[in-house]
Amino acid sequence: MEMTAIILVVVFFALLLINVPISICIGLSTMLVMMINIDTLPALATVAQRMAGGLNSFALLAIPFFVLSGLLMGRGGIAKRLIECAMALIGALPGGLALVNVVSCMLFGAISGSAVAATSAIGSFMLPEMKKAGYDPNFSAAVTAAASTTGMLIPPSNILIVYAIASGGVSIAALFMAGYLPGIMVGFALMFVCYVYAKRKGYPLSDRLPLSVVATKVLAAIPSLFLIFLIIGGIVGGIFTATEAGAIAVVYALMLSVGFYREVKVKELPEILLKSAETTAIVMLLIAASTAMSWVLSIENIPQTLSAFMLNISDNPIIILLLINLLLIVVGAFLDMTPAVLIFTPIFLPVAEQLGMSPIQFGIMIVLNLSIGLCSPPVGAVLFITCAIAKTKLEEIIKPLLPLYAAMFFVLMLVTYFSWFSEAIPAMFGFIER
């Protein structure tokens, strides 16, 4: 077992260091380990079978639908209307533009289900505006990077669907409900940091808008925000499943972007569909390869061995959960969220359950952990996009990111040690018993 684990880890990171795509790293390291244990042809056939089996899930059909609806929303003028709505409501507060940045990323991330989409759509508009208002460009970039990850928790979230598969069938609807409060808490924690920062720096306040203008901006954003209530209301009410909700989201986004707002032309739809297919293919290849690796880890009893090892380190649940959190934050800084969830859920979920943590609470914990990694160097995807938009360097936004990291970590500790924050809303709607 020890040799298998060493070979798997060494080959994986060696390929990663020479910039091999992450899905190929996972697949090649898995195949090499299998070929060491059995003959080449059966090894290749087994890996291929496990990859195909990993995609044989009805729940995964939701991912291409939500990817497509997110792209339609991103191109359909949704971001602009959400920003204007947030600006009208809270733009006159101290640090108003930074607060608007956070709220807009939360709303757009929730609608699109993508941190990268939120970074691109909101950052492209907000970062130049914040620079014109006198905000430090590095701080503005840091706020955008951190806030864009809230969409990983606030549903509909593709990564929560992936976790539901990796955990062996946790209710997607329950996970969606569980993500609301922690996602909003992260947003408010980031807003608190922005408020304090703006007060200390003395950034100018924006003028208050007349009530009629505020009402107009809010009304203009309601059709976009209605998607959240449509999807979640339908799932909670038992009207449709998460997969069916994804299809409904596509229809609604199409009607909104092409018919209502008219920001997307019919001739642009083939390009959007192609982009959606490319994104879906990348995600599905990651899921397939990660599923095969998880199976190899399982047959080698690596999760059980690591579980026993961690439980032998200490009998204090606080210490063990803290170690898991720290390890996942490091993993998130190097590994994409999808393979990280698929690989580490089978390893750490049994440990968490032995400590009394429910699969729902652990799911929110691991996604929040990896969300912090998503905006952390050296691999954090949203960091590079934000730096490109803000025309700044990665090393220059690390310092302003530190208090934002602290705010996110504070919420992570609350979610880790108090089940109420992740289970209260699912329990309210009858998805779990408390």
Encoded tokens for 217: 């901006």
Mean pLDDT taken over the chain: 85
Residues in the chain: 434
Q: Residue 433 pLDDT more than 60?
A: no
d(CA 206, CA 366): 38
In sequence order, the 6+-apart residues with CB closer than 8 A to the CB of 420 are none
Rounded distance between C-alpha atoms, residue 86 and residue 289, angstroms:
40
DSSP structure class, residue 58: G
Q: What pLDDT digit, counting tens, does each position of 394-405 carry? A: 888 888 899 999
Predicted local distance difference test score (pLDDT) of residue 417:
94
In tens, the pLDDT along 175-184 reads: 989 999 999 9
Pair 248, 72: CB distance under 8 Å = no
Q: Encoding tokens for residue 190?
A: 């980031």
pLDDT at 2: 65
Least confident of 63-67, 92-96, 150-154, 340-344: 92-96
Quote the pLDDT of residue 300: 76
Interval 103-129 mean pLDDT? 80
* pLDDT, mean of residues 22-48: 87
Model pLDDT, residue 387: 83
**Which of 72-76, 348-352, 394-398 tops mean pLDDT?**
348-352
pLDDT above 70 for 434: no
pLDDT above 80 (res 326): yes
